[in-house]
Amino acid sequence: MDTPEQPAPMLWHQGQPISRDGAVAALAAFDADEAKVKAAIGGDISAQQERRDLWMLARGMQPGAVPATPQDAGAVAQQMSEREEAIHEAKLDAFGKHVRMTPELRMQFSRRLATQEQHDFAVAERERLLRDPDFRSKVFAGFADETDRWIKIVQAAAAPVAPADYQWEKDQPA
């Protein structure tokens, strides 16, 4: 399934914009320049910093970009919470490259809970589908509908069962 490419963030080197591909080429040129390599190994700080900067740029990181230091425990907790949310969203985005990630499925993956009925159905359906050679061949061939169905079934079967008093309304998309 085709997904739109995310634009790469703008990177800068010595006051000029540079792409990751440009940084990779510049790093290769630096490593091919015996005089620069010898200087960096010999302790030339500016040569070492230039190579470090090119290495970071080649990996999509902006040299010198330092996150703000939290001032108190509350700011640390907020920064940790924001980072966990960013990691969670990145995981869902990565998974969305392989399945059609609907808002409902995104919420289901975020919630990671199922009712007892959903869980029991999913476990039984997973076993039935594993024995269905036609279904298996379609999943292996990359048929989108069958792949999506398989992902939903496996996710529901693996999800913990929610307590009977779980408030499902709070998880509804806005």
Task: Judge whether 35 lies within some domain.
Answer: yes
- How many structural domains does the chain have? 2
pTM above threshold 0.85: no
Measure Cα distances from 111 to 14, 46, 50, 141, 159 in Å: 45, 49, 45, 29, 9
- Structural domain including 23 reads 11-58
pLDDT of residue 131: 94
The answer to whether residue 3 scores a pLDDT higher than 60 is no
pLDDT of residue 156: 85
What mean pLDDT comes out for the span 59-78? 81
Let me know whether 37 and 84 are in one domain.
Answer: no
Least confident span in 36-50, 97-111, 126-140: 97-111
Rounded to whole angstroms, the maximal C-alpha distance in the chain is 70
Let me know whether 86 and 162 are in one domain.
Answer: yes
Task: Judge whether 21 lies within some domain.
Answer: yes
pLDDT of residue 167: 81
pLDDT of residue 34: 94
Percent of the chain whose predicted confidence (pLDDT) is above 90: 30
What mean pLDDT comes out for the span 23-48? 93
- How far apart CA 113 and CA 157 sit, in angstroms, is 10
Let me know whether 90 and 50 are in one domain.
Answer: no
Candidates 61, 57, 63, 65; CA nearest to 24 is: 57
Could you give the residue ranges of the DSSP H alpha helices within the chain? 20-32, 34-41, 45-58, 73-95, 103-111, 116-130, 133-140, 144-158
What mean pLDDT comes out for the span 125-142? 93
- How far apart CA 17 and CA 24 sit, in angstroms, is 14
- How far apart CA 59 and CA 20 sit, in angstroms, is 7
DSSP type of residue 162: P
- How far apart CA 75 and CA 46 sit, in angstroms, is 35
Let me know whether 38 and 87 are in one domain.
Answer: no
- How far apart CA 95 and CA 110 sit, in angstroms, is 12
pLDDT of residue 106: 79
Residue 144 pairs in a beta bridge with: none
pLDDT of residue 67: 65
The answer to whether residue 163 scores a pLDDT higher than 50 is yes
Let me know whether 164 and 82 are in one domain.
Answer: yes
What mean pLDDT comes out for the span 40-48? 91
Task: Judge whether 6 lies within some domain.
Answer: no
Task: Judge whether 67 lies within some domain.
Answer: no
